[in-house]
């Protein structure tokens, strides 16, 4: 099993808009694609960074599911960050393997 994590760092002014977009648009598309076994949105508490930090977590049986997602639906998030929120939304992703 694999955990695909996307960490979002949003400016204070836009974090509610980002959270709403994730919950109402991004997650439903991902759920519909049936790429992952589960998905979750978490808010990082006591972050050392300015702004609000969220963690989007997705559970996959195979690493190939993550690669497919990165080449398709992940582009929605990249476009949102680069075009609508340039300089106000930053993110990085990581893949973790359950042991």
What is the tens place of the pLDDT at every residue in 4-39? 999 999 999 999 999 999 999 999 999 999 999 999
Beta-bridge mates of residue 53: 9
What is the tens place of the pLDDT at every residue in 35-65? 999 999 999 998 888 899 999 999 999 999 9
Residue 58: how many CA atoms within 13 Å on its side-chain side? 29
CA 2 to chain CA centroid, Å, is 15
Q: Which CATH number fits the domain that encloses residue 42?
A: 3.30.70.100
Indicate the number of domains in the chain.
1
Range of the domain at 58: 2-97
């Amino acid at each position: 099993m694999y955990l695909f994590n996307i960490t979002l760092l949003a400016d204070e002014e836009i974090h509610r808009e980002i959270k709403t977009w994730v919950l109402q648009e991004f997650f439903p598309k991902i759920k519909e694609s049936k790429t992952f076994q589960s998905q979750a949105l978490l808010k990082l508490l006591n972050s050392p960074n300015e702004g609000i930090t969220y963690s989007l977590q997705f559970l996959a049986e195979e690493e190939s599911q993550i690669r497919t997602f990165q080449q398709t639906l992940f582009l929605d998030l990249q476009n949102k960050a680069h075009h609508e929120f340039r300089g106000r939304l930053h993110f990085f992703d990581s893949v973790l393997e359950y042991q």
